[in-house]
Structure 1
Amino acid sequence: MNNGIVLNHHSLPFANKEDADEGLMAFFTVLKVCRTAGLKVLLVDEDQDKSLMGLELTNGYFVRSWLASARKVAELADWCRFLKSLETKQPLFEIVDIESVSDVLEVGLPGEESGKSVLLAAFYFETFLASFTALASWANSHFNVWVFELDATPDQRDETLLNLSDSASLDVHADELKQRRNALLSSAKDIWFKREDFFPHLTLLSNQIGTSLQCWSARQDVLFKARDALNVMESFSGRWLSGEYVDYHHEYLRGLGLAAEVSGESESVNNDPKKKNERMFWLDDGRKVYCENHVKLTDGYRLHFYADALNKRIYVVYLGPHLTL
């Protein structure tokens, strides 16, 4: 299962409400990054609450308790909306069926005689643990564990699990998270049909991009270059909308990791009505705009887009061979 992370409830509780409030922000940050990577939270223990709201952060203080207070604080409005979006996007939690392997497979921490189901799930599905920072022992980016496998020889060995708990661990696992995202976007049709989940701050025009991606016949490396560009554009557009950027510049995409060249058109194109018209596209709100900005992909392909300053949104309008010069 490559689209899930395992909620580690053993990393709770916090010592007090103040620590819980701070730790919940770190946990929300982890969840936010995981969702951009296409990963959803999996709840493995049946005795745990099936809603994030029901998680007890410290004695008598739940996530829903935090929400009740946070709604009164303007600075926390974005996080309140994020929490509500998690609750309404189903499934946030899933019961992971590991009973079929628990009789022959066990995973535990060094020095402990019995294993833990969350460790078993993370190992079995080859994915991340998602931990809170309440207990220092669960705040590491990696965990050494022992694995007991009844049908294996030898029956016990040491392994390492990946853990996400704060910004530092997100930095450590940044490349792995990127690889997980890309694995879920490994074909042109994946990019198109999963666009609302992976590119919520972009608009990919149906007639142009939708047709190109659903009928893709060009080289795979061209597609992956386009995918990488879309990933960077999505990152920029989300930050643009949140106010981190006040306008669009090519340099911002480069600063966020765009490896391909990005530019506008030459004066010879801008001054030629026929060539310029070829780069005019209808947006979904009825506007016809000049889309000179483009990313130069391999094999002569181009990805044209329009940075809409009014809505702080990027419209991706064309993916295909170089337009007329």
Structure 2
Amino acid sequence: MTSCMVFNHHSLPFDSPGMADEALPDFLKLCLRAQNIGLDTILVDESIDKGWFRLELSGSYFWQDWYQKIQSGNNKNAEKQIRAFRSIATRQPFFSTRDIQNHVDLFEVSLDGDASFPALRAAAWHEAPLAGFPTRSPWLDSPLTVTVEELDQAGEIKQKSIDLMNFFSLAIFEQHSNELLEKRNDLIRTGRALFDEKERLFSGLIFCGKAPQQLRHWSAGLAILDQVKETLTVLNQFCGVWGETGYPEYRHEVLRDLGLNHEVSGESSSVLDNPRLKAEREFWLPKGRKEVFQSHVKLNKGYRLHFFPDHHSKTIFIGYIGPHLRLK
């Protein structure tokens, strides 16, 4: 599975600055949600400012103008939008030296007979989804069916049609998010692989306590690991929306609303009132503070995933992934 999206600059410009202002918050949310499932880089054409500021959104209205507007305005979501913008990782050009060595110059892509869309060519080559804006046809359709022409090993031109995911809105992205998650998770087959990819796959989570060692030396099998991946994915998704409308604070019920299929709860008073049992659930946070990781998800075969949701930083810390801790 690819780890990138391709920025569809062909979907610009908007008809007015107001339309751009309305669409940009959802575009930034889309980028954040994409990061949460492993699409952590956006490929950008060389003709575009890699830092986005000189990107023309509408006639003589640039990304920089929008950025300055939200910085100086009273928009209560401005800080979150700025943080989302700064978190976007971009890469240029569309094609690397290795792609050129693999004869990308003999790879052509057309939409309705028009081969003048380099973003579509990049998306088809990298097997990556497009990320763009809801402006006009054909960019209001997903998937986009394109024609690919390339030379086979015998030197003959082969033609085929393929569908490209076109994320022109957050709603379209959400329709495909489960499919993308399944493809991503299928590539993670060991605890060590999960741990090695944790920053890319679970950017909202921090692993501490016993969890890093438990993942690096995972021995519980793939079935339990799949449940761990599912749980971490939902926790990470919650971190991506924490503080937004409908998600002002952490509650166990929110995880179920986001699709968690396992029971989640806190510890009983009999555990928390017992110093010895409570101590087994205490882990150090990276900055040197010890907390009780009483929130836990119940996995099969008696396994538990203990975590601590920090309301101040809106981060979830993963402290323990292993057999049920003692109850008496």
Q: Give TM-score, length-normalised by structure 1.
A: 0.86
The alpha-carbon deviation at position 121 of structure 1 amounts to 1.6
Q: Aligned partners of 2:115, 2:287: CA distance in 1, in Å?
A: 59
Q: Is the 8 A contact 1:5 1:41 kept in 2?
A: yes
Q: Is the 8 A contact 1:34 1:177 kept in 2?
A: no
Q: Is the 8 A contact 2:140 2:168 kept in 1?
A: yes
State the superposition RMSD in angstroms: 2.7
Q: Is the 8 A contact 1:23 1:134 kept in 2?
A: no
Aligned match of 1:188 = 191
Correspondences of 1:109-188 after superposition (within 5 Å): 109-110=111-112, 112-114=113-115, 116-151=117-152, 155-182=158-185, 185-188=188-191
The alpha-carbon deviation at position 272 of structure 1 amounts to 4.7
Q: Is the 8 A contact 1:7 1:130 kept in 2?
A: yes
- Deviation per residue, 1:121-173 (Å, 9 max, x gap): 21121110112222232021211111223328782222211110102211321
Aligned match of 1:202 = 205
Aligned match of 1:319 = 321
Aligned match of 1:261 = 263
What percentage of aligned pairs have identical amino acids?
36
The alpha-carbon deviation at position 21 of structure 1 amounts to 1.9
The alpha-carbon deviation at position 310 of structure 1 amounts to 5.2
Please identify, of 233-242 and 136-145, the stretch whose mean Cα deviation from structure 2 is larger. 233-242
* Matched letter for residue 50 of structure 1: K
The alpha-carbon deviation at position 186 of structure 1 amounts to 4.7
Unaligned runs of 5+ in 1: none
* Matched letter for residue 116 of structure 1: F
Q: Is the 8 A contact 1:38 1:180 kept in 2?
A: no
Residue 252 (structure 2) pairs with residue 250 (structure 1): yes
Aligned match of 2:65 = 65
Correspondences of 1:1-325 after superposition (within 5 Å): 2-39=2-39, 40-43=41-44, 45-75=45-75, 76-86=78-88, 89=89, 92-97=90-95, 98-99=99-100, 100-110=102-112, 112-114=113-115, 116-151=117-152, 155-182=158-185, 185-205=188-208, 207-242=209-244, 244-266=246-268, 269-270=271-272, 272-309=274-311, 311-325=313-327
Please identify, of 53-62 and 259-268, the stretch whose mean Cα deviation from structure 2 is larger. 259-268
Q: Aligned partners of 2:188, 2:53: CA distance in 1, in Å?
A: 31
1:10/1:222 CA distance change after superposition, 3 Å? same
The alpha-carbon deviation at position 187 of structure 1 amounts to 3.6
Q: Is the 8 A contact 1:2 1:180 kept in 2?
A: no
Q: Is the 8 A contact 2:37 2:180 kept in 1?
A: yes
1:93/1:322 CA distance change after superposition, 3 Å? same
Unaligned runs of 5+ in 2: none
1:154/1:93 CA distance change after superposition, 3 Å? closer
Structure 2 SS opposite 1:203? strand
Q: Is the 8 A contact 1:14 1:58 kept in 2?
A: yes
Q: Is the 8 A contact 1:29 1:166 kept in 2?
A: no
The alpha-carbon deviation at position 308 of structure 1 amounts to 3.8
Q: Is the 8 A contact 1:260 1:296 kept in 2?
A: yes
Q: Give TM-score, length-normalised by structure 2.
A: 0.85
1:118/1:289 CA distance change after superposition, 3 Å? closer
1:69/1:217 CA distance change after superposition, 3 Å? same
Q: Aligned partners of 2:286, 2:91: CA distance in 1, in Å?
A: 34
The alpha-carbon deviation at position 109 of structure 1 amounts to 0.9
Structure 1 SS opposite 2:242? helix
Structure 2 SS opposite 1:134? coil
The alpha-carbon deviation at position 244 of structure 1 amounts to 4.2
1:79/1:323 CA distance change after superposition, 3 Å? same
